[in-house]
Chains A and B, each alone.
Chain A
């Protein structure tokens, strides 16, 4: 018998990968929780103290380097970290936990820091609340220093690696993409989290919400199966052989799909569909165009905007955006202005989905918004740009945003800066409010995009990051079908174009529903491009319209889904 174990999660990104687990330095990861024999407690406390001492030495060294490089100003930041290591509220309580509960240091650190994090999250003062970052840093350092065998540096991974962790930030995944990272699995998160979106963009198989992941250690052999949404630990020889043969089949299919990617996206009965690509990073433009994409239907600019962990300056933004347009070689690129507050702020306990995100953030931080708009307009002369405003919920917000856009243009006029005055401006329909009132917004803008991920989340009251409800997320819910039908009916008479760019467009059955409902412009992540193109070329528009008429009368999501699948996969 082997020790093969299958742990379940949800699909984050399709495909599968075989590799060895590598834990990321996630702020709060815990490698293992252990009850200790009473006679081991002394030793464990020594082990903890050694890690504190090691951390202190590292920080002192860092402080000395910083002082040499930039003077006293910034080296002060390290003082706060050092003081935490001397803090009785922290260190003494951890030692006490190890002693009284007879547990290992990692576990004790987690228990004590969780308490403190909660206390931080309750503070009213946003600045002080942000200070939990310092504590997270210390916790990460201590946990790292507790390892007997340090992780191999990512740059020299000796084997195909599968990243595992509680959370793997999208930026980490992106930075490691060029290394031998073949798959990823996270304890938390859902298919709609930015990490999953990123994994799909990079075509890295991913399984999210794998609750039992803490049992896996670095170095364990794993299979991440993003098609089934499972992680297989210590797979048997047989299982490995099975996946090897699937790998060969998969490559053959991919080759065929690659060939059809350059074929026009026209249905069997001659209706043409516009198919664009969604991207998160400027580097992806090149491969999108190479794949034969006719447009970049959605460029989520916040990833690049905050890539360095801070705001970029205007000149570098202008250069980046110009390069994107030039690389697109005349294909239109829809730049969505920064939508912050989705995954980035989920630490602080409040639900960012219902708070200050998207356009709301931009209207509260007009200097950031204006900087991005100025950069966009200045870059606009280099190609075909469209500007898309995210998370619009009232006509007032839209008017305010349009006013800011006019301000920026007047400013550029005064400075005699060149820009394209005809850049179309559009609204992202992703809140129920926008879906209900898009016709009122139509006279103010040039085009619309439909973000189905958020729309479904808000319509069905399902938090995208909450594991306990994510299975209820269903694009075939009659409420969603009616909503889409209504949006199409409201916008039809206005003559404004609508592009659907959510995940619904990337899954063949739900994409077929969109076509049937009348949406003939879709934009999907690169990983889904070939399969959606294949779906479009295999269906008849006439049949899909009939299908749409039928499913609009149905009562249950399951009925709808079965009917749609039977039609799309009829052969």
Chain B
């Protein structure tokens, strides 16, 4: 019955056309990625010509100090800022629950989410140049700021689903507040906190605009490094880095989605 009606809705467009449409969009989405992966094996330094297969860009990736520095900076900023944002954001979710101005506070903390990245970046740059020097620390502080709303986005649903009576029951049964927090509340919030942390990290690695305005001279993440290299020509090792990153994301996402795939099959 259900199947029949679905067919009725969908017979409007022939099957091959739907496949063609989906395929076309997938080609559009994957074309740049395929190009970068192809170039990472290209022996010619100039992207317009193909000079045979090579792995030299992969080898250079691990010896080039500038790239190594950028990778280290990117990962350092991503991990540290995501950790700080997760702690501040999670405590924030728990703390503001009973506050009367909860809605206003949430609205203000969501400003970086809604506002233009360029304005967020510039506004923090104005403050940082006044009170501290632009450098790694300023990028770190800026990243924590725009990551907090992403963390809260993930933690709030877990927090509102949480059963509060269990916490009170734990207190009644003689648990200390700390015990009740770590043994009762944390296990329930954990999935939300984890996905918040991962989302914050991804946003940090992908960010360009805010990093661009708040970084000091000599501080480069991968995004800003590629941008500054554009004028002189991009180091082909960046293509191999892109390939590795793509594979890493693919494997990571595939693993986290594997359970869902199995469920639906």
A complexed with B: no
